[in-house]
Amino acid sequence: MLPKYKRVLLKLSGESLMGDKSFGLDPTVISQYAQDVKSITDLGVQVAIVIGGGNIYRGMNEAETGIERAHGDYMGMLATVINGMALQAGLEKIGVFTRLQSAIKMEQIAEPYIRRRAMRHVEKGRVVIFGAGTGNPYFTTDTAGVLRAIEIKCDVILKGTRVDGIYTADPEKDKNAKKYQTITFQECLTNNLRVMDMTAFTLCMENHLPIVVFDMNTPGNLRRVVTGEKVGTLVTG
């Protein structure tokens, strides 16, 4: 089956890598994600990935921790590099060529982020994992993912979550919540649906970059999304 998208950016949350644990990394989840990514690279899809760091460190209330926001955000950026290395290991174990690029220089373990180099890697079929967010505090990994997707000319943002799309309300709390198959950026704003943080969402809207929100924890869903099956929710202009 021919893929619907040629070049995608997959955005994963750090929490998703925990699996059923309360902290850290679950090898089973990493293995499943790696297999799912391989299933779309086998179709010829060019893939870039951004992962959050919430399974290792999530910026907490400064009053509680004594750690100021900027300092905590840098700690979170380092956590995303650890997650990137874990996924990189999982992918290379099954024969997928990868490159890890970091927005903060750490030459011993990752290339520095260079836009043209990243584009060349994906053109050659390598999976590029972007670590350390944007390299700046006060920006989320959602924003980093959208920024990188725009920079390297991706066709879509694939936001892998534990929920199978966007609902009228939180489906884990409201049994009457209804799922959207497709929704516009404007409808998301009007109905106050938090798809991403506002900076990331606005970047997508202004650059006409569609978002697909889907359940990444169901094996095979990533391939279904990429081949155009009605999985998750499509946010478009």
pLDDT at 63: 75
- Reported as a single tens digit per residue, the pLDDT across 139-192 is 999 999 999 999 999 999 999 998 899 999 888 888 899 999 999 999 999 999
CB-facing half-sphere around the CA of 208: CA atoms within 13 A: 0
pLDDT at 24: 93
What are the chain's domains? 7-236 (3.40.1160.10)
Q: In terms of C-beta density within 10 A (0-12 exposed, 13-18 middle, 19 or more buried), how is residue 94 classed?
A: exposed
Residues with Cβ within 8 Å of 128's Cβ and at least 6 positions away in sequence, in order, are: 47, 48, 49, 98, 99, 100, 101, 118, 121, 122, 152
Which of the residues in the chain have pLDDT under 70?
Answer: 59-61
Determine the angle formed by the axes of helices 198-206 and 141-151, rounding to 10 degrees.
20
The structure's pTM equals: 0.95
